[in-house]
Amino acid sequence: MLIEKYQIDQHNGELSEKQQNKFNFFKAENPSAESLLQKLVDFQIAIPSWALGTGGTRFGRFSGGGEPRNLEDKMMDIGLLHQLNRSSGAISLHIPWDIPEDVEKIKNLAASLDLKFDAVNSNTFQDQPNQAYSYKFGSLQHVDKKVRDQAIAHNIEVIKQGEALGSKSLTVWLADGSSFPGQLNFREAFQNTLASLKEIYAALPADWKMFVEYKSNEPNFYSTTVADWGQSLLYVTKLGPKAYTLVDLGHHLPNANIEQIVSILLMEGKLGGFHFNDSKYGDDDLTAGAIKPYQLFLIFNELVEGMDANNMNHATDLGWMIDASHNVKDPLEDLLQSVEAIMMAYAQALIVDRKALKAAQKVNDVALCQEILQEAHRTDVRSLVAQARLMAGGAIDPIGLFRSVKVREKLIEERGLKSVATGL
Amino acid sequence: MLIEKYQIDQHNGELSEKQQNKFNFFKAENPSAESLLQKLVDFQIAIPSWALGTGGTRFGRFSGGGEPRNLEDKMMDIGLLHQLNRSSGAISLHIPWDIPEDVEKIKNLAASLDLKFDAVNSNTFQDQPNQAYSYKFGSLQHVDKKVRDQAIAHNIEVIKQGEALGSKSLTVWLADGSSFPGQLNFREAFQNTLASLKEIYAALPADWKMFVEYKSNEPNFYSTTVADWGQSLLYVTKLGPKAYTLVDLGHHLPNANIEQIVSILLMEGKLGGFHFNDSKYGDDDLTAGAIKPYQLFLIFNELVEGMDANNMNHATDLGWMIDASHNVKDPLEDLLQSVEAIMMAYAQALIVDRKALKAAQKVNDVALCQEILQEAHRTDVRSLVAQARLMAGGAIDPIGLFRSVKVREKLIEERGLKSVATGL
Amino acid sequence: MLIEKYQIDQHNGELSEKQQNKFNFFKAENPSAESLLQKLVDFQIAIPSWALGTGGTRFGRFSGGGEPRNLEDKMMDIGLLHQLNRSSGAISLHIPWDIPEDVEKIKNLAASLDLKFDAVNSNTFQDQPNQAYSYKFGSLQHVDKKVRDQAIAHNIEVIKQGEALGSKSLTVWLADGSSFPGQLNFREAFQNTLASLKEIYAALPADWKMFVEYKSNEPNFYSTTVADWGQSLLYVTKLGPKAYTLVDLGHHLPNANIEQIVSILLMEGKLGGFHFNDSKYGDDDLTAGAIKPYQLFLIFNELVEGMDANNMNHATDLGWMIDASHNVKDPLEDLLQSVEAIMMAYAQALIVDRKALKAAQKVNDVALCQEILQEAHRTDVRSLVAQARLMAGGAIDPIGLFRSVKVREKLIEERGLKSVATGL
Amino acid sequence: MLIEKYQIDQHNGELSEKQQNKFNFFKAENPSAESLLQKLVDFQIAIPSWALGTGGTRFGRFSGGGEPRNLEDKMMDIGLLHQLNRSSGAISLHIPWDIPEDVEKIKNLAASLDLKFDAVNSNTFQDQPNQAYSYKFGSLQHVDKKVRDQAIAHNIEVIKQGEALGSKSLTVWLADGSSFPGQLNFREAFQNTLASLKEIYAALPADWKMFVEYKSNEPNFYSTTVADWGQSLLYVTKLGPKAYTLVDLGHHLPNANIEQIVSILLMEGKLGGFHFNDSKYGDDDLTAGAIKPYQLFLIFNELVEGMDANNMNHATDLGWMIDASHNVKDPLEDLLQSVEAIMMAYAQALIVDRKALKAAQKVNDVALCQEILQEAHRTDVRSLVAQARLMAGGAIDPIGLFRSVKVREKLIEERGLKSVATGL
């Protein structure tokens, strides 16, 4: 289902006076407010095709109703999100969970929903039916060349699928690693992985990027073959100019300073993009900003500072994607919450007084440096973000509208109570 | 399948000279060796019914062949393990994964395999088909009394199942908690859980124990309603004398000093038992002793010291169980490795020179305290453990025999290549 | 030095229009704003006597200028802070670092500065000159009764010092523990500590409280004898109704859910008070709210909810204190920042829509629960906190005024550039 | 004081029969034992000049008696250790704590004690009296070029000191970083640091190495400018072929897989050396092998495998040093314990059946891989290490001899009860 334009207009009509009042107050305090609106409008966060259904853990999965039954349903869900917030105008496909059967039809559907095809994602962490070799002991790292070749071929196939749709990047997340000391020769695992990645890299179209994601642990519990940003950077440096590191916020050891990693990767010209989520313990895949919103802001603070230093375009020069698991909330509401939190962090980073910050840093005025960042984070930017959404044709209060027009109830009616989304 | 006695005899015959030689050397260094053998023989570690098959993560599961197809198969597997090491003489059932259809038959089978029925485990972390209410938002903690009642009734049913078989304890592990700030009122969740546990406790037979397990996180990622030993102790103290805390080695925050927790719970008379496994990151459920064998020894050091101080029987006064997930190894080999590591840690704890340690502690001779513990841990106790196994009728080298008689191959022949064990 | 009243008036005069404008906007959105002001005015956060100077690490300490040379200087510094924010009206003394030489004079000075004497703190983690026995191997836990007696006597002396000044509580933080496996018998260390605490408890005046602080590690690196809230709760429960657990935000293992601990301690009626600070890695003792402001809010959310459920007085029924180390910032500015962050977290907790939250929890509307908490945290409460400050006679912008009247420069003039604060 | 040769002979005489018996048993099980002895004899672990006295924490320091009063005393202490274990034949100097006043005299003393001069260590984490600029806000990273220049000059001075003595490497550990968000521009801090390191690198003699150490946190508590192996590798790669990464075991985030880092650094040809210690929580600086001896073995397993793959000489191609803090033990006994634990881990790594391991890895026989490593670690190698020590002229039981000849008592007699070692 989609929302009718009149429904959005009516919703906005009811809230507009209040919104205008708040935004006016915001503008009075932040004279540059108007100039930020377009940046916020331009900023789009891709939704992965596997995030539209209820996720789970190894202990269980409690599906909700009205989950998408196929790729078309998933795209419709993202289209609906994009109608509401105008910031979710891209889909990131997971292959083989979401192989288009009819590419033209899918492209037309995307166009009608104003969605772009973001990075395509390969999957070598599960075995598919009729697969010749198992990934039980890894894929691109595998001791057996035949398994590696199968995984390479799959990645190249994913590139092809993405090319047909208009994607411009491939994200490689590897579960490869080991669960016990001695299981792997780390060096050979690295070298096998590198050699495999090189073959995939060679198949990249000229205007594509390859993102190499890292993760400290899980599903392997002793070592991971692309375990941290340092290892990812080694791979992408050896691969070449089209290879970049991808940062997923939940893939770090406890207490890691992610914002510093972001800054260094930008400095090296090797930051490729982001998977947004939040976590308290491990790769919890919670809603972005749900646990550590200040950290999210600090990360955006480095992104804005570092991208500006590199003359990069905020909206287009890095890949922005959500990667969360919706275990106890309606996936669509959860995604709206994630996007909102990301937009707020970005907005707060935009209003940091960079000139004052630089001056304070120059004289080691640590208290003032802190004040300047806190000033931005303590500012209520909700009216700014809402104004950008309004400007782009979205709803002032996306979740409010989602609930008032009874989206979920209608999806259940349409798709049934027991539909279970394919993929993770 | 079972192993024939002659196969064990033949195996031991081939290795006995070497074993005798090693054990003689051990005895020369450790004059009390003979006196320890019976303790090792008596020490039995229960195998959970869900650990006989290949485990997995939320990302995938790569089953092996010849996995048990039903409860009888699982018992046969444990019987086989017990033949090999004579230390796995108990099974811990998970309900509803392993409900006996014919109790008498199952009891007879257990008797024929020399297996006891250890603690029974309830499951309120998954929804079963035809269940009236969902556990998506908790079970014993649930805001809705009807859901709590259903979970209580299930636990009482599990007690009944256990009673029929001769179990003497119920283990309650709760996934209950929350994944987002605000989701729960912590106090009310605690009080609901306590009230529910009280109803279950009231249904315990007079000679039963109830074990309340704690876990810091997963599958909930913000809070767990029995999150640490302190919370478990609060519950079991409020419940009464039959309620005890159960320690699972993988259920702690990073860097926790588990051995100190063990000591304090013993001091309070509230330690009930153990779930053994090892981990590097979270609840990794790896083979016991695979990552931190010295920690395992230190835990047994506290167990032996504390149980002796309380005049407890090592073999029978606490519940000993493995709780691991066999994702990349043959589950039976993995269990043999876990049992071996546990027996070694126990044996090393038995040879600690407690008199000297106490004397060194009395004068704060920290270097000597360390030497005394390291002396025990550095001692190669493999021949001692093997001797106890030999004495009890097991194999000198259980994994060696397992492999040489081609157990797995025969199980595959018998059960097929694609059998997938029921349960986790 | 102190600030003249006219300086504050002038400062407020300059900022008052802007403040009024902001507060009016706030009130329009939060109709209950006026009713919260008195709560904020009443809320006082004690400043420890050791926090007025530059702190350090084992690697070094880089003192600033104008640091207090004695207890009177320290009280003057706190008096100044209290003039600025009207929320720092109490001092927490550390004995023996800050023993009053002339009690009446000190009491008069406190009265003139409108300061109360909060909890007194004992010190058995360092050896003092001319001390008979060393605390190298612990104090209240020590294997030698003579050392324990000395530490007990010190604590009783601290109570006496506090009584003379009008304190009503004793905070016991113990460094006691061990740095190597084997060093301690955990059970005996616990029992020695408990017996020692009982003797101190027996010396408490009738209207006093004893706070037993816990800490996971440091300065001992293997075990701590009051290591977590569970152990502290065991002690205070065994001690009696005047003993309570004290929570220091930096004293937990990585990823601990502190807000849940707070809720449970309140439920048990055993939460005594707080040491505020923030941290990323361990007991980093950074400015409150500098790293995880959302966590600080979530803690206050539980405090407000739990204290209200117990009919407790927010301002007086728990002990509130800062415990931070000012290594790279002006200590006074740093303390102003901490107090501000705490007041904001408290204010945000006060505006949580508790009725709506309870209703959402009742129906497991997790997304809405999250929205409700985020709504409060995203609200810019700075004008509310400033308004309360203004109402109480403080400065609208304490750090701004601190800087504009050149407090530090004057302190340096008065006390010299090389003064080093006594104590930590 | 030194030990007389006859004392060692007499000690060995008393223990030699027992030792021979044990070693014979070891040899019977490990036919290659004899061939390993020379490797163990050759393996020398440097002792840092700051480790001979009692260390402390920010909370206190409890000095022991007989601590070295000057550089000569420190060298005598190391000479004594080396007499006892024949594995501590090098000293690593910390400048400016241990600047030789008379270089020739110091060189002669070293020669007489059979000590080499290992890496020299600079110190820019503390301010020295009469220093022009403070390192409060960093040294090589500092925003002020004059501070950076001072720190560069100090490092070059340290190189000169080392050259005079015959050192061949400089270790640069930087406390540089930040304690609060906003304090630093990460990119500029990196670039300042890199530029500074380049100037120091330019002053390195042709046959010298520069080691760049990393550390996740402390004494800065928000960011560190060389925070992890990835950042160190970036620096040393940009610096050139004489620059290498140095690994200190306590400088990682919780749960880090250090052995994998070691393997990758060796693969890249950029591992320079080690600082050995052990830890449970942070940079606890405990005795090597006191907490996680299996991890220490796994690290040596990678070292042996990786160095052999690179045709490196175990004894000389990497820098081996202890870096621990002796807070509650006699520093000399503590060092003997560390060296023993390191030698055992090395010995166990040498007896790993590498051919079998490689074969098991090739077929993903994970259980067998684990067995092979555990086989080596469970082997009691104490007699092997003692035999090597005996062969080299040391004592069979170094701590036993240290105690029986009453070294500490004599040092106290010689140096007094209240001597406090200079430096950390």
pLDDT at res. C97? 87
Which residue from B minimizes the CA distance to A128?
Answer: B60
**Judged by CB atoms within 8 Å, which residues 346-385 of B form the interface with C?**
357-358, 360-364, 366, 369-370, 372-373
CA angle at D414 for the pair D411 and D418, rounded to the nearest 5°: 80
Which residue from D minimizes the CA distance to C133?
Answer: D62
Per DSSP, the residues of A91-135 read EE-BTTTT--SSHHHHHHHHHHHT-EE--EE---SSPPTT-SS--
Is residue A249 over pLDDT 80? yes
Residues of A with CB below 8 A from B142's CB? none
Q: Long-range contacts made by residues D158-163, C-beta under 8 angstroms, separation at least 24?
A: D158/D95, D158/D120, D158/D121, D158/D122, D159/D120, D159/D200, D159/D203, D159/D204, D159/D205, D159/D208, D161/D93, D161/D95, D161/D99, D161/D100, D161/D120, D162/D93, D162/D117, D162/D119, D162/D120, D163/D205
pLDDT at res. B422? 64
CA distance D208 to D211: 10
From D230, D306, D362, residue closest to A143, measured CB to CB: D362
CA distance B375 to B359: 16
Query: Would you call C17 an interface residue with chain A, using a CB distance cutoff of 8 Å?
Result: no
Residues of A with CB below 8 A from B183's CB? 328
Enumerate the H helices of D30-125 as residue ranges: 33-42, 71-85, 103-112
Query: Is residue A240 one of the residues assigned to a domain?
Result: yes
pLDDT at res. D39? 98
CA distance C26 to C22: 6
Identify the domain containing residue C298 by its residue range.
5-415
Residues of B with CB below 8 A from A183's CB? 328
Which residue from C minimizes the CA distance to B228?
Answer: C230
**pLDDT means per 10 residues in chain C (424 residues)?**
95 98 96 95 97 93 93 97 98 93 97 98 95 98 98 98 97 98 98 98 98 98 98 98 98 98 98 98 98 98 98 98 97 98 98 98 98 98 98 98 97 88 62
User: What is the enclosing helix (H) or strand (E) of B243?
Assistant: strand B243-248
pLDDT for B127-166, tens place per residue? 999 899 999 999 999 999 999 999 999 999 999 999 999 9
CA distance A396 to D402: 78
Residues of D with CB below 8 A from B295's CB? 292
What number of C-beta contacts closer than 8 Å exist between A and B?
A: 114
Report which of D255, D344, D328, D337 is spatially closest to residue D36, judged by C-alpha positions: D344
- State whether the Cα torsion A329-A333-A335-A336 is positive or negative: negative
Length of chain D: 424
Query: Would you call D293 an interface residue with chain B, using a CB distance cutoff of 8 Å?
Result: yes
* Cβ atoms within 10 Å of D130's Cβ, excluding its own: 5
Helices B186-202/B145-165 angle, 10° precision: 40
Residues of B with CB below 8 A from C180's CB? 366, 369-370
Distance of CA C277 to the CA centre of its chain: 8
What number of C-beta contacts closer than 8 Å exist between A and C?
A: 67
Residues of B with CB below 8 A from D295's CB? 292
Distance of CA A252 to the CA centre of its chain: 16
Query: Is residue C423 one of the residues assigned to a domain?
Result: no
pLDDT for A32-67, tens place per residue? 999 999 999 999 999 999 999 999 999 999 998 999
CATH number of the domain within which A301 lies:
3.20.20.150
CA distance B122 to B141: 15
Residues of C with CB below 8 A from D286's CB? 179-180, 221-222
pLDDT at res. B423? 61
Query: Would you call C6 an interface residue with chain D, using a CB distance cutoff of 8 Å?
Result: no
For residue A203, what are its two tokens? 């198949």
pLDDT at res. D1? 87
Residue in the block written with tokens 């706070």:
C211
Residues of B with CB below 8 A from D255's CB? 254, 280-281
CA distance C375 to C30: 12
Query: Would you call D292 an interface residue with chain B, using a CB distance cutoff of 8 Å?
Result: yes
CA distance D322 to D285: 10
Report the share of chain D in percent with pLDDT over 90.
Answer: 96
D219 to C286: CB separation less than 8 angstroms, yes or no: no
Beta strand segments in C68-117, E: 90-92, 116-117
Report the share of chain B in percent with pLDDT over 90.
Answer: 96
Residue B126, helix vs strand vs coil: coil
Residue D164, helix vs strand vs coil: helix
Which residue from A minimizes the CA distance to C370?
Answer: A290
Please give the DSSP secondary-structure letter assigned to residue C165. H
CA distance B273 to B210: 10
D231 to A264: CB separation less than 8 angstroms, yes or no: yes
pLDDT for A203-240, tens place per residue? 999 999 999 999 999 999 999 999 999 999 999 999 99
CA distance C326 to C336: 12
- What Cα–Cα distance (Å) separates residue C66 from each residue in C53, C56, C69, C412? 9, 17, 9, 4
Q: To the nearest whole angstrom, how far is the Cα of D22 from the nearest Cα of chain B?
A: 8
Residue D142, helix vs strand vs coil: coil
* Cβ atoms within 10 Å of D232's Cβ, excluding its own: 27
The two beta strands, D56-57 and D60-61, are antiparallel
**Looking at chain D, which subunits does it touch, using at least 3 CB pairs closer than 8 Å as the criterion?**
A, B, C
**Backbone dihedral angles phi then psi of residue A142, each to the nearest 5 degrees:** -60, 145
Is residue B301 over pLDDT 80? yes
- State whether the Cα torsion B406-B409-B411-B413 is positive or negative: negative
D424 pLDDT band (50/70/90 cuts)? low
Query: Would you call B125 an interface residue with chain A, using a CB distance cutoff of 8 Å?
Result: yes
What is the number of structural domains in chain C? 1
Listed in sequence order, the residues at least 6 apart from C395 whose beta carbon sits closer than 8 Å to its beta carbon are: C8, C11, C12, C83, C84, C85, C389, C401
Q: To the nearest whole angstrom, how far is the Cα of D239 from the nearest Cα of chain B?
A: 34
Residue D178, helix vs strand vs coil: strand
Residues of D with CB below 8 A from A267's CB? 186-187, 190-191
Contact by Cβ (8 Å): C93, C51: no
Listed in sequence order, the residues at least 6 apart from D204 whose beta carbon sits closer than 8 Å to its beta carbon are: D159, D170, D210, D242
CA angle at D125 for the pair D122 and D131, rounded to the nearest 5°: 85
Is residue A398 over pLDDT 60? yes
Helices C103-113/C145-165 angle, 10° precision: 50
* Stretch D230-249: mean pLDDT: 98
Q: To the nearest whole angstrom, how far is the Cα of D358 from the nearest Cα of chain C?
A: 35
C284 to D179: CB separation less than 8 angstroms, yes or no: yes
Q: To the nearest whole angstrom, how far is the Cα of A354 from the nearest Cα of chain D?
A: 10
Write the Ramachandran bin of B147: left for phi over 0, alpha for psi from -120 to 50, otherwise beta.
alpha
Residues of A with CB below 8 A from B290's CB? 180-181
Query: Would you call A175 an interface residue with chain B, using a CB distance cutoff of 8 Å?
Result: yes
C328 to A366: CB separation less than 8 angstroms, yes or no: yes
Query: Would you call C266 an interface residue with chain B, using a CB distance cutoff of 8 Å?
Result: yes
Residue C193, helix vs strand vs coil: helix
Distance of CA B289 to the CA centre of its chain: 13
What number of C-beta contacts closer than 8 Å exist between C and D?
A: 114
What number of C-beta contacts closer than 8 Å exist between A and D?
A: 148
pLDDT for B235-283, tens place per residue? 999 999 999 999 999 999 999 999 999 999 999 999 999 999 999 999 9
Residues of D with CB below 8 A from A257's CB? 222-223, 227
D125 to C254: CB separation less than 8 angstroms, yes or no: no
Which residue from A minimizes the CA distance to D188?
Answer: A267
CA distance D167 to D158: 10
* Stretch A322-337: mean pLDDT: 97
pLDDT for D97-140, tens place per residue? 899 999 999 999 999 999 999 999 999 999 999 899 999 999 99
Query: Is residue B392 one of the residues assigned to a domain?
Result: yes
**Looking at chain B, which subunits does it touch, using at least 3 CB pairs closer than 8 Å as the criterion?**
A, C, D
The amino acid that residue C220 corresponds to is N
Please give the DSSP secondary-structure letter assigned to residue C326. B
Listed in sequence order, the residues at least 6 apart from A184 whose beta carbon sits closer than 8 Å to its beta carbon are: A141, A177, A178, A223, A225, D361
- Interface test mutation site (partner D, options B19, B280, B328, B329, max chain D beta carbons within 10 A): B329
Helices A293-309/D186-202 angle, 10° precision: 60
Which residue from B minimizes the CA distance to D290?
Answer: B370
Query: Is residue D424 one of the residues assigned to a domain?
Result: no
Length of chain A: 424
* Stretch B361-367: mean pLDDT: 98
Average pLDDT, chain B: 97
Q: To the nearest whole angstrom, how far is the Cα of A115 from the nearest Cα of chain C?
A: 26
Query: Would you call D253 an interface residue with chain B, using a CB distance cutoff of 8 Å?
Result: no
- Interface test mutation site (partner D, options C50, C54, C57, C58, max chain D beta carbons within 10 A): C58
The two beta strands, D223-224 and D177-178, are antiparallel
Which residue from A minimizes the CA distance to C25?
Answer: A25
**Backbone dihedral angles phi then psi of residue D129, each to the nearest 5 degrees:** -55, 145
A187 to D223: CB separation less than 8 angstroms, yes or no: no
A181 to B291: CB separation less than 8 angstroms, yes or no: yes
Length of chain C: 424
Is residue D420 over pLDDT 90? no
Distance of CA A61 to the CA centre of its chain: 22
Is residue A422 over pLDDT 80? no
B219 to A329: CB separation less than 8 angstroms, yes or no: no
Q: To the nearest whole angstrom, how far is the Cα of C294 from the nearest Cα of chain A?
A: 7
Is residue D417 over pLDDT 90? no
From C137, C254, C298, residue closest to B255, measured CB to CB: C254
Query: Is residue B312 one of the residues assigned to a domain?
Result: yes
Q: To the nearest whole angstrom, how far is the Cα of B33 from the nearest Cα of chain C?
A: 22
Query: Is residue D213 one of the residues assigned to a domain?
Result: yes
Query: Would you call B56 an interface residue with chain A, using a CB distance cutoff of 8 Å?
Result: yes
Query: Is residue B423 one of the residues assigned to a domain?
Result: no
Query: Is residue B420 one of the residues assigned to a domain?
Result: no
Please give the DSSP secondary-structure letter assigned to residue D113. T
